[in-house]
Amino acid sequence: MKSKFMLLAASVVAAALVAIAQPGATSAPAIGVAEAIRTIGATTRPQQAVDAYGRGAVIDRSNLALNDAYMKKMLQFGQGRIAAFPARVLVSQQNDNGLALGVLAYNSAVSGDYSAALNNIVCAAANARDNPGILRDAGMLISWYDNAPNVGKVPYSGRCLLREIRRSLERHPEYMDAYTRIKDAIATYRQQSDDIARKIEDAQSKLAELRSTAADLDIQLRQAAADVAYRQSLTGQLASERDSGWWTPFGGANNGWQAPYYAYGYRYPYPYLYRYDSNALPLYQQDLNRQITDQQSQILKDVERQQSLGARAKEVDGELAAQQAELSGLRDERRLAKERLENAYLWDQPAVDGLITPAAPPLPAPRATSGPAMNPETAAQYRIDLARLLLANGRNDLAAESLRDVVANYPQTSAATEAQQMLETMP
């Protein structure tokens, strides 16, 4: 957060220097802090206020009146983020400045740092209890502190101050309306969140069960396919034995034939088939046919089981997809519920003169002067003009620094000679 404000401060000062050094200008307008304050108060253009503040800040960036005027003007322009820089300057010197504390609370709240915002808004409300913008922000932040789970740590001093001012705040309708709205929004969110959490838990349990079922079905399908392949192979071996059995003579040409056959590692011998025994070979082939028929019957059963498992697996895949879609929808619903809660926080900028200005789009970034128009002689002359402005407002130390910069960095320019002469004549 601090780095954001430092970047903001740098951009403000840069804008001021750009305003001082516009192409074609021969000298910077010699305005002091008082003139800068008058310009800020009178202008209707945000960029003109930024330029005037930058010129005044070059002279005295800690000036309370300058920072107060600039902060209020930026709030009137709806630029609460820019108002944060002068607010920090004011709070560093006036820790009871309710308006400035309200600006800091607003910026912390918009950035999502509710703990820091609460610390500042309690102090702001204690010192600016009639500011409607501060009262509304206080109502929302204190309601968040009272009702939201897991809130951040609040310093002891902040808790004590909150106890002191709570009753007085509750007398303001702006505070109570905001407090009640956030209280109801948090209660609704917690109820929805708990309900969605239970549904998500049930959906995740069902999803895990379906995944386990799908894994089991996959194993069974693989086993069924392996069984079919095994029995088909076995049937082929049996058919091969039946149709092309080999015969070898045993004990001589007249002593008969031996006809052993093999089926999947088992030996079924018909040891002595005599040449004149016409019944032996058909018995052997009938045994093979019976085994083939049994295997084919079992293959049909295995195929039917495989088809049944496949249908069930497809059904489970559909259930898985539906369950995953339901779980995704529940997570989206949880995200939307959180967004609805966040949208209930309608942060208001602190009011100026009783009026709250809605936040406006950010101002465009200032464009620095560069390129051919900024030649060394011109750049050196701008720094001399700045030194004259500082001298006119009693900031001799800063003026001397600007002049020494001209002498050191632009030694070949006529402005360097002028700068050296000014340094020699300065008290």
Does residue 298 share a domain with residue 229? yes
Please give the Cα distance from 105 to 123 (Å, whole number). 9
Does residue 336 share a domain with residue 420? no
Residue 170 dihedral angles phi and psi, to the nearest 5°: -65, -10
Q: Residue 115's CB: how many other CB atoms inside 10 A?
A: 16
Mean pLDDT of 161-174: 91
pLDDT at 366: 58
Does residue 388 share a domain with residue 332? no
CA atoms within a 13 Å half-sphere pointing along the CA-CB vector of 338: 8
Question: Who's near 320: CB < 8 A, 6+ residues apart?
Answer: 207, 210, 211, 214
Does residue 415 share a domain with residue 315? no
Residue 164, pLDDT above cutoff 50? yes
Q: Residue 302's CB: how many other CB atoms inside 10 A?
A: 20
Locate the DSSP E strands across 148-246: none
Question: Who's near 406: CB < 8 A, 6+ residues apart?
Answer: 380, 383, 384, 387, 413, 415, 416, 419
Domain membership of residue 362 (yes or no) is: no
Does residue 407 share a domain with residue 284? no
Domain membership of residue 186 (yes or no) is: no
Does residue 8 share a domain with residue 146? yes
Q: What percent of the chain has pLDDT over 70?
A: 81
Domain membership of residue 360 (yes or no) is: no
Alpha helices in 244-365 (DSSP H): 280-343
**pLDDT tens sequence across 13-38:** 444 444 444 443 333 444 588 999 99
Please give the Cα distance from 59 to 414 (Å, whole number). 26
141, 171, 201 - which closes a domain:
171
Does residue 165 share a domain with residue 22? yes
Domain membership of residue 112 (yes or no) is: yes
Does residue 392 share a domain with residue 243? no
Does residue 12 share a domain with residue 119? yes
Residue 95 per-residue DSSP state:
T
Mean pLDDT of 367-396: 72
Mean pLDDT of 129-147: 94
**pLDDT tens sequence across 283-324:** 777 888 888 899 999 999 999 999 999 999 999 999 999 999
Please give the Cα distance from 136 to 132 (Å, whole number). 6
**CATH number, domain containing residue 86:** 1.25.40.10
pLDDT confidence bin for 333, thresholds 50/70/90: very high
- Contact (CB, 8 A) for 114 and 152: yes
User: Between 277 and 349, whose confidence is greater?
Assistant: 349
342, 360, 388 - which closes a domain:
342
Please give the Cα distance from 365 to 47 (Å, whole number). 10
Locate the DSSP E strands across 204-258: 248-249, 257-258
Please give the Cα distance from 204 to 193 (Å, whole number). 16
Does residue 155 share a domain with residue 11? yes
pLDDT confidence bin for 244, thresholds 50/70/90: low
∠ CA 140-90-83, nearest 5°, is: 60
116, 143, 171 - which closes a domain:
171
Q: What percent of the chain has pLDDT over 90?
A: 55
pLDDT at 281: 60
Tokens of 402: 């600007």
Domain membership of residue 123 (yes or no) is: yes
Q: How many domains does the chain have?
A: 3
Does residue 261 share a domain with residue 389? no
- Contact (CB, 8 A) for 192 and 339: no
**pLDDT tens sequence across 76-134:** 999 999 999 999 999 999 999 999 999 999 999 999 999 899 999 999 999 998 999 99
pLDDT at 12: 46
Domain containing residue 19: 2-171
Does residue 241 share a domain with residue 286? yes
Q: Residue 417's CB: how many other CB atoms inside 10 A?
A: 12
Domain membership of residue 26 (yes or no) is: yes
Where is average pLDDT lowest: 12-16, 205-209, 223-227? Answer: 12-16
Global pTM?
0.68
Coil vs helix vs strand at 268:
strand
Domain membership of residue 138 (yes or no) is: yes
pLDDT at 248: 40
